[in-house]
Amino acid sequence: MRPEIYATLSVGARQVVALERTVLAMGAVRRQFASEGLPDLVFQLDSTISMSAAQLGTMKRGLFRLLKGEPVYEYVQNTPGLGPAVALVLGLLPPLTEFPKKGQRGGPYHVNSYMGLAVVNGRCPKREAGKFAGYSTLLQGFAISRLAEPCIKCDGPFRDQYDIRRVRTAETHPLMLDEGCPHCDEARAASKKKRAESRQTRERKSVGKDCSNFGGPHWTLGHQHRDAIRVVAKAVMLDLWLVENGKQPRYGAGSSSESVDQMHHAGA
């Protein structure tokens, strides 16, 4: 991507994020007004929120139009599931051409580390209260919700990667057992204790932690899904890094698709 395009994209992406946060804040204020029975203020906020939402849509489409003439624009246009959100993510990231290309793992690993998608010691990084995460939690969320999730909702190469990963983890990490596994029992007991301590009253059948948190092999359906969608997010980011660095994408438009499973397992 040309430097002048990136400079404009970066400013625009941050403006979009700022406006999105403002709209969310206004939504919280609106709910407060509604709960206090203030219909006139609710009406005024509804109008402001509606106009801001329309402006957000225009801004996001404008960001994507900035990429016209760039290889990544054609790649996105011809890859099912991808859209203007790619421009937003690219604007929030440092230029993908500036990530290290040499070393043991190279550029894609550094991109994943920056976004909180890399595997460290066999586990994905998680935020700890009071500690610096060491990665962009904003971009981590965007990679999952705005890049990967739309891709698995339509037929295409990234949906294929999701399905491949689910098949693999169904074998390596089968579902938790109702009986016969002490780690599964420990996970259920820990979840029950945590809910009791937090005074949760709503009945929930899912567990907060699964067997694997206590040394066992079993996962929940939610764990299998979250794992697979992270694999898809990493596959998308790998393609974007390749395209931005003048290389052929591995999964999307103009590529011969192959499994990203091995790359994920290796910690990339």
How do residues 40-88 score in pLDDT, each as one tens digit? 999 999 999 999 999 999 999 999 999 999 999 999 999 999 999 999 9
10 within a domain of the structure (yes/no): yes
157 within a domain of the structure (yes/no): no
How many other C-beta atoms can be found within 10 angstroms of the C-beta atom of residue 222?
11
Low-confidence ranges of the chain (pLDDT < 50): 257, 259-260, 262-263, 265-268
Give residue 123's pLDDT: 73
CA count, 13 A, side-chain hemisphere, 38: 12
Give residue 191's pLDDT: 85
Nearest partner of 176 among 221, 128, 237, judged by Cα: 221
Cα distance between residue 39 and residue 43, in whole Å: 6
Question: Over the Cα atoms of the chain, what is R_g?
Answer: 21
Domain-terminating residue out of 45, 66, 87: 66
142 within a domain of the structure (yes/no): no
Total structural domains in the chain?
2
188 within a domain of the structure (yes/no): yes
* Distances 261 to 56, 166, 167, 218 between C-alpha atoms, Å: 35, 10, 11, 19
Cα distance between residue 254 and residue 242, in whole Å: 12
Domain-terminating residue out of 17, 47, 66: 66
Domain-terminating residue out of 44, 66, 88: 66
Residues 6+ apart with CB under 8 A from 57: none
61 within a domain of the structure (yes/no): yes
239 within a domain of the structure (yes/no): no
240 within a domain of the structure (yes/no): no
Q: Residue 40 belongs to what domain range?
A: 1-66
53 within a domain of the structure (yes/no): yes
Per DSSP, helices labelled H in the chain are 3-35, 39-65, 71-77, 85-92, 107-114, 137-142, 149-152, 157-172, 182-197, 221-244, 261-265
Give residue 267's pLDDT: 47
40-50 burial string, b = 16+ CB within 10 Å, else e?
eebeebeeebe
Confidence (pTM): 0.87
CA dihedral 215, 219, 225, 227 (to 10 degrees): 20
Give residue 192's pLDDT: 84
